[in-house]
Amino acid sequence: MTRSPSSASDPKGVTVLHSTPNRPLAIWLSICCGMIFVMVVLGGVTRLTHSGLSMVEWKPVTGLLPPLGEEEWLNIFDKYQEFPEYWETNKGMDLEEFKGIFWLEYIHRLWGRAIGAVFLLPFVCFLVKGWIGRKLGFHLAGIFLLGGLQGLLGWYMVQSGLVDRPDVSHYRLAAHLVAAFAIYGYIFWIILKLLFPVPGGPPSSAAAGLKRLATLIVVIIFVTVLSGALMAGLGAGMAYNTFPLMEDRLVPEGIFDMSPWSLNFFENVATVQFDHRVLAIVTFITVLFLWLRRHHSALSGRAVRAIHALAIMVLFQVVLGISTLLLFVPVSLAAIHQAGALVLFTLALWTTYELRGQLPQR
């Protein structure tokens, strides 16, 4: 008979285990996080290479296998030719060229199914073993449900590019990306709780201030990712390819040309890119401020390392973003920049976690 591990609940209601199963649970969830990370990068490359509309049908159950013969390939290619992307962007494309974009989208969808399997099968196994408490099980079941909805959201996004014009809705693209970040962050936070239970007792006043600042950084990064997704969906990276000025101005003309006024923040290329620049700079300054303020608090070694890593990564990410813009959004740099955003988000979450419950060193 399997002995259930003892557990305790933190104020957020996530069960924290205090026995041997912590490590295998954390390893399993870390693998899932790693797979989601790869999925985000794959999604970015799929978008940058305009491969996402190559599969015009969604078959979540029967679409596991790729075309297995020439006849199947021709059938799928014929279906693709019925939609706007072929006629407006890829007219004259031959079958071999079509296969090049098809495989990338196929791998992207197959990887999503693989994530679901890697999450679900161990989840059921650990439940049977009694390694997962009720509250943690509730959170993990919610994550699985969110993952399924994310797949549905992905198809909803693709559908928007199969109607009148060969571009997916930038609103749906943004929703799909930030949902991936949210699911990833949800899992990563649980991993941290499994591996590093927070020390008891209230935080020192100085550390509490740093924790609030770190939480603010997480929010700013999340909003910056949202603005970056809007920018990518609008193709705004191909405009204003200078830095720090935009058409020889700090603030470009025409950023409030659309009516109503609020629409500019979501559909005006100049405004969306300007907002992304401002948010990136705010992120950099806020992280730098956190890094400087660490000297005024007695923190654990892990907390200090997290802050150092966050500061290094934000500098790297800013350089990546500027380079991507100046070079007119090459696929390789743009994909690395998107991956860098997720690394930065990860480090911000880690920093926030490490600043919870920090006590003055004696």
Domain ranges of the chain: 10-197, 201-362
The predicted structure's pLDDT at residue 233 = 94
The residues with which 9 forms a beta bridge, in sequence order, are: 15
What pLDDT does residue 205 have?
64
Q: Evaluate whether 115 touches 36 at the Cβ level (below 8 Å).
A: yes
**Percent of the chain scoring above 70 in pLDDT:** 90
Q: What is the largest CA-CA distance in the chain?
A: 74
Higher pLDDT, 206 or 171: 171
The tokens 């608090």 sit on which residue? Answer: 297
Residue 238 pLDDT: 93
pTM, full prediction: 0.90
What is the rounded average pLDDT of the residues 183-188? 98
Cα–Cα dist 140/154, whole Å: 21
- What is the predicted pLDDT for the residue at 199? 54
Q: Yes or no: say if 36 and 213 are a contact pair by the CB < 8 Å rule.
A: no
Q: What is the mean pLDDT of residues 62-83?
A: 90
45-59, 169-183, 315-329: least confident range? 45-59
Q: Which residue has the tokens 């200078």?
A: 242
For residue 146, is pLDDT > 80? yes
Instruction: Taking residues 3-8, report their average pLDDT.
Output: 44
Question: CA nearest 81: which of 158, 162, 155?
Answer: 162
Q: Per residue in 275-291, is it b (16+ CB within 10 Å) or e — as a string?
A: bbbebbeebbebbeebb
Angstrom distance (rounded) from CA 129 to CA 4: 8
| Euclidean distance between CA atoms 324 and 328, whole angstroms | 6
Query: pLDDT over 90 for what percent of the chain?
Result: 75
Model pLDDT, residue 5: 44
pLDDT at 204: 62
